[in-house]
Amino acid sequence: MKFEIQKEVLIHAVGVVIKAISPKVSVPILSGLKITATSKEIIFVGSNNDISIQKTVPLEKNGDEKAKVHEEGSVVLNAKFLNELVRKVPKDDITFTVEKNNVTKIKSGKSVFSLNGFPAEEYPKLPEIEGEADFTLSAGDLNSIVKQTAFAAATSELRPILTGINLNLKDGLKAIVTDSHRLAIKELKLAGEDRNVTIPAKALIELSKVFEDQEEQVEVILKDTQALFKSHNLLFYSRLLDGNFPQVSKLLPTTFNTTLKVDRKGLSAALNRCALIESKNKVVVLEVKDKQAVLTVSSPEVGQIEEYLEDFEIEGKDIKIAFSYKFTQDALSAFEDEKVQFQFVEALRPFIIKGEKCDSVTQLVLPVRT
Amino acid sequence: MKFEIQKEVLIHAVGVVIKAISPKVSVPILSGLKITATSKEIIFVGSNNDISIQKTVPLEKNGDEKAKVHEEGSVVLNAKFLNELVRKVPKDDITFTVEKNNVTKIKSGKSVFSLNGFPAEEYPKLPEIEGEADFTLSAGDLNSIVKQTAFAAATSELRPILTGINLNLKDGLKAIVTDSHRLAIKELKLAGEDRNVTIPAKALIELSKVFEDQEEQVEVILKDTQALFKSHNLLFYSRLLDGNFPQVSKLLPTTFNTTLKVDRKGLSAALNRCALIESKNKVVVLEVKDKQAVLTVSSPEVGQIEEYLEDFEIEGKDIKIAFSYKFTQDALSAFEDEKVQFQFVEALRPFIIKGEKCDSVTQLVLPVRT
């Protein structure tokens, strides 16, 4: 194999597929990414147990030569090393030449790197997925789903299904995430057959980082154990999580006793100050009383913080409720509205946060017993 | 004690004295900084075993009111907490009120913080140092000393004296640092009595971060166990290191067999690429031969890097010498010259790096036996 490639093109391609390579692997070849040069394109593949990514670089784009293949072939090279190297080479073009025993010479200007490579045929194969797209959405919508729900996924593997984002396709798409202490829902208007799958949140977080153009259309093909996201020159495979995602619709209260509409940024800054006190379980107490709304956090060692909210409207009963400022802060990050609305039932029942205008996002937080 | 102070003034003062507060302390009051309000000024003090810093904020500066004292007094407050808090308060002015048992109310806008304070009289006293300055230098010169030599200090406490910067005042000032594998010397033209002290490098690194104006003059008063650096509204105390600093002048070779003059940035970028291979002891081999100069690093696992230098001039014999790319990179960071000059004796003898134009800095690196 021998090819030349432009530095910036290589940096981008390696940067994309490296997201599928785990920093710690037991089999050395899995620390590598596979490069294949053909007469038409150069193909980069990264793979781990959860996701695989294939990024294709055409030799030419809009008449500009991006790469040139002198001899077809393929090799696997250490991804972390290559990723650092390509950012540091002295010149704008780089030549790869595979020599004996997969040793690969990488030349740029007066720098010559000889990397020990691995045989390409020993690299994991990509899943075989074919067929029509189950649905199509824009990269921007995909990013919204991730930004507005992924934080609510469980990080522990106690109940693996809760580490995922549930995609429920039925009269549109509902993305649902819960770690059993909170719940995030994002709804999108989409056409497609009824489907219900759960994709690891980590996989969708990596996927959302790949796109440069938010308008780009992404085709989603769902099979029994795998999902494939296809866009321009990109294939992104993720395994699906096994098991039934909990029925969450019954958790959402429908009648409320107290409504608090409040300036989002002001509340976020106040919660941010509350976080200065490292209280047990990151708990803040909100008291709505006498037309005032006050957040309080206290710790016997450090002291106490009281935040008197500004720019708010209260409807309904007084309430005193304790909750995680961390979860509430996460939930607020899902909104861009100027004002958000908190809807409470009572002190020990979950409450809901909605944007003033955007109604495609619902956040639910469970209170804490103090 | 009760006073008001402008947020930006407070952020700066707390940011300065917190440099003297260790993140982990066994006695809780030592995690605090002392604030004293008088009729003329507000005084902030931070202190640990090695250094103490006092920053004074006059109530008025150029006719602008910066702070207002309603009641004199003093208190000690947790420094880390205060430092984070003052950056997050909602308004531009902050009121401090000490109540019963040193509980301190800090108010800004609608935020009220009640911090558990400590009694000011239990805070460590500042060293008593008086008298004339031994010498005076600008903040800029002080920063140059730190930037050009401090990296060469030992980080282990095996030989405590080697963790310091030796200041040798005799026909000018020589700042000397060595960890016994390399040596950095910075010379400054200065007037003053002969003195020879060694100050912990860490203390001078902290001191160098304090100044906003590089033209500011700093008076240095040296006593038996302490040094005091005095400038506008600032007192910075450091303990001195005990023991004799090694005689380094005899280590510097004076005759050389090979001289390599090379573009500093190009060499630095090449060493940076060499660092991609994590070789044993971070060793690179330089070979000067047949009018070429090549750096080589190799590791049996990863592969090999060869960097053919550009923009260089060689005088004298061929040489092949192994050295730490880390130490050499550090040494290069001391220069701003376009070209630097390496002077070699032979493969197992220390070599010297000098700037093409600047001759106030000398760097010496010991080679590695391979």
The reply to whether A247 falls in a domain is: no
Neighbour-count burial of A38, counting CB atoms closer than 10 A to its CB (0-12 exposed, 13-18 middle, 19+ buried): middle
B27 within domain boundaries: yes
Q: Give the mean model confidence (pLDDT) for residues A35-60.
A: 96
Question: Quick check: B111 and A308 CB within 8 A?
Answer: yes
Q: Do B114 and B150 belong to one domain?
A: no
Whether A270 and A203 share a structural domain:
no
Is B272 within 8 Å of chain A by CB?
yes
Domain edge (last residue) among A88, A122, A156: A122
Q: What phi-psi label fits residue B233: left (phi over 0), alpha (psi between -120 and 50 degrees) or beta?
A: left
> Does pLDDT of B325 surpass 80?
yes
ipTM, two decimals, is 0.88
Residue A211 lies in a domain: yes
| CA distances for A226 relative to A122, A202, B250, angstroms | 22, 15, 70
Residue B107 and residue B21 share a domain = yes
Single out the residue in B122, B155, B190 at which a domain terminates.
B122
* Spatial separation of the C-alpha atoms in residues B59 and B39, rounded to whole Å: 8
Percent of chain B with pLDDT strictly greater than 70: 100
- CATH code where residue A323 lies: 3.10.150.10
Judge whether B244 lies within some domain: no
Can you tell me the mean pLDDT for A151-177?
97
For B265-323, how does the pLDDT look when each residue is reduced to its tens digit (9 = 90+)? 999 999 999 999 877 778 999 999 988 999 999 998 889 999 999 989 999 999 999 99
Q: What DSSP line would sit under B271-296, residue for residue?
A: HHHHTTS--GGGEEEEEEETTEEEEE
**A81 and B CB contact within 8 Å:** yes
Query: In terms of CA atoms, which chain A residue is nearest residue B108?
Result: A307
Does residue B192 surpass a pLDDT of 90?
no
| Number of inter-chain CB pairs under 8 A, A vs B | 87
Answer yes or no: do B302 and A110 touch at CB < 8 A: no
Q: Has residue A370 been placed in a domain?
A: no
Shared domain for A17 and A96, answered yes or no, is: yes
Residue A100 in tokens = 């004996």
The answer to whether residue B370 sits within a structural domain is no
Are residue A117 and residue A17 in the same domain, yes or no? yes
pLDDT for the residue B97 = 98
Domain identity same for A227 and A281:
no
Mutate to test the interface with A, among B82, B267, B302 (most CBs of A within 10 A): B302
Write out pLDDT tens, residues A247-302: 998 899 999 999 999 999 999 999 999 999 877 778 999 999 988 999 999 998 88
- Give residue B295's identity as a one-letter amino acid code: L
3-state class (DSSP) for residue B232? coil
Residue B281 confidence (pLDDT): 76
> Is A127 inside any structural domain?
no
In this structure, are B93 and B195 located in the same domain? no
One domain, residues A91 and A166: no
User: Domain check: are B191 and B91 in the same one?
Assistant: no
Which residues in chain A (302-361) have CB-CB distances under 8 A to chain B? 302-310
> What does pLDDT average to over chain B?
95
Nearest-by-Cβ selection for A113 from B115, B269, B305: B305
Which of residues B239, B268, B300 is at a domain's end?
B239
Inside any domain, residue B53: yes
A100 and A140 share a domain?
no
Q: Which of residues 21-40 of A touch B (CB under 8 A)?
A: none
* C-beta separation of A74 from A35 below 8 A: yes
pLDDT, tens digit (0-9, with 9 covering 90-100), for A203-252: 999 999 999 899 999 999 999 999 999 998 999 999 999 999 999 988 99
Question: Domain check: are B71 and B39 in the same one?
Answer: yes
Q: Give the list of residues 6+ apart from residue B292 with CB closer than 8 angstroms, or none.
A: B308, B309
The residue segments making up the domain with residue B275 are 252-365
pLDDT digits (tens, 9 = 90+) for A312-321: 999 999 999 9
Query: What is the rounded distance in angstroms from the CA atom of residue A198 to the CA atom of residue A149?
Result: 13
Instruction: Provide the domain count of chain B.
Output: 3
Nearest CA to A197 out of A155, A230, A233, A229 is that of A229
Q: How far apart are CA A84 and CA A15, in angstroms?
A: 10
Residues A88 and A57 placed together within one structural domain of the fold = yes
